[in-house]
Amino acid sequence: MPPTPSQPERTPHTDRGSGLMDTASDDNNAEEGDSGQSLVIQGKSGISYDLAGLDPDSEARALVGLTSEFEVISCTTTETGYDFQLLERPRVHLNHNAYTCTCSTFASRPDVACQHIFWLLDQLHGCLVPQRPPSEVPLASDGRSLGFVRIEGLLKGNLEMVADQLNWQYTRSEAEGGMSRPQNVRDIMSAYRPAVLPDEFRLDLLDDAGQTRTPEQCVVQGDFEATMFRLAVHDDAVYSSLCKAMPPGARAAIYFDKMQERTRRLLADFNRYSQTGQAAGAPTMNVREVVDELGRNVHRIRENTVARAPHGMEGAAKTLVTLLEDICNRNNDALDSVKLQVTVLLRDLPRI
């Protein structure tokens, strides 16, 4: 991600043709209008924007945003709008009231969109506007493109499609049946343990993402896992790094592999008990216990299919199909062979 440059020196509009405008035209696909009063710049989407209505600070931010490249590591729908987590910490939130960002540039003047907002809106318009406008689109200081419908209206029901098209990670929010941030952190950390499911991982680790903690307050002496858990829940940079190291698709694949292995092991233990009368790790086993445990596994798979969507669909289906095949292979009457032997014996008896 390119660093944010300092605000460029600004010269009067009437004298900019041979200064900033020539440089912007060569390096940033920008060009000055015939009137000498407007600055037109083409975003990465191919859409051209008119920056004439912006003040110097807004114009500088728009120039940086529309000529830079950032990386979205995850996006989601929330109760109030849409969240986009960018690499290196910034998180942009779009709703019908305002567009906000967690970066320091936006915090220094929150009435003006930062470079991340300008860049993100250009990316979204590039996906959601089917035809490029015939003329330049005026930009407002809050990032809105005055020639387009508000972006939150265009995004309604389309975020997953946009994420797929732009190769962003789409995750379901808690409001949509997805995971909360602490649940995501637990999911990430449990993925590194071969046989531990997220709802079994360190049940003593409980933390509220709404509670503010400094990095120092997240430290748990002598407990690295607890420290990392707290840091990931409260620190955006740590959370972003963990999400990049273990993205939702990889976590979903690991989870359903664990469920498939757990079910296979349960049925193998039951087979062993049926044949030898010995159960691994338990004095006895019975059909009811096995059926109840299989039912709990199916419930977990169903819940996680919803929470992890659109990731892991193939893994969930494979796990359920394998379970169904295993059950069907065992769906027989243990006395069938005895009944057959009795039938043959009766048939062969001499008639009286």
Side-chain-facing half-sphere of 250: CA atoms under 13 Å: 11
Higher pLDDT, 309 or 145: 145
pLDDT-wise least confident of 145-159, 170-184, 218-232, 321-335: 321-335
**pLDDT at residue number 347:** 55
**pLDDT at residue number 16:** 33
Beta bridge partners of 74: 85
pLDDT-wise least confident of 16-30, 44-58, 181-195, 290-304: 16-30
Higher pLDDT, 16 or 327: 327
pLDDT-wise least confident of 21-25, 56-60, 344-348: 21-25
Beta bridge partners of 92: 84, 101
**pLDDT at residue number 282:** 66
**Over 70: is that where the pLDDT of 22 sits?**
no
**pLDDT at residue number 341:** 52
Band (175; pLDDT cuts 50, 70, 90): confident
Name the strand (E) or helix (H) holding 74: strand 72-77
Q: Which long-range contacts (CB under 8 A, 24 or more apart) does 139-143 make?
A: 139/49, 139/50, 139/51, 139/53, 139/54, 139/62, 140/53, 140/54, 141/53, 141/54, 141/55, 141/58, 141/111, 141/112, 141/113, 142/98, 142/99, 142/111, 142/112, 142/113, 143/99, 143/113, 143/117, 143/118
Task: State pTM to two decimals.
Answer: 0.68
Band (24; pLDDT cuts 50, 70, 90): very low
DSSP string, 239-253: HHHHHHHS-HHHHHH
Rounded Cα–Cα distance for residues 80 and 204 (Å): 31
Neighbours of 54 (CB within 10 A): 21
Q: What is the mean pLDDT of the chain?
A: 82
pLDDT-wise least confident of 180-194, 275-289, 293-307: 275-289
**Over 70: is that where the pLDDT of 155 sits?**
yes
Give the SS3 label for residue 49: strand
**pLDDT at residue number 283:** 64
Reported as a single tens digit per residue, the pLDDT across 72-109 is 988 999 888 999 989 877 899 999 889 999 999 999 99
The dihedral sign for the CA sequence 247, 248, 250, 251: positive
Higher pLDDT, 274 or 214: 214
**Over 90: is that where the pLDDT of 351 sits?**
no
**Angle at which helices 181-190 and 248-276 cross, to 10°:** 60
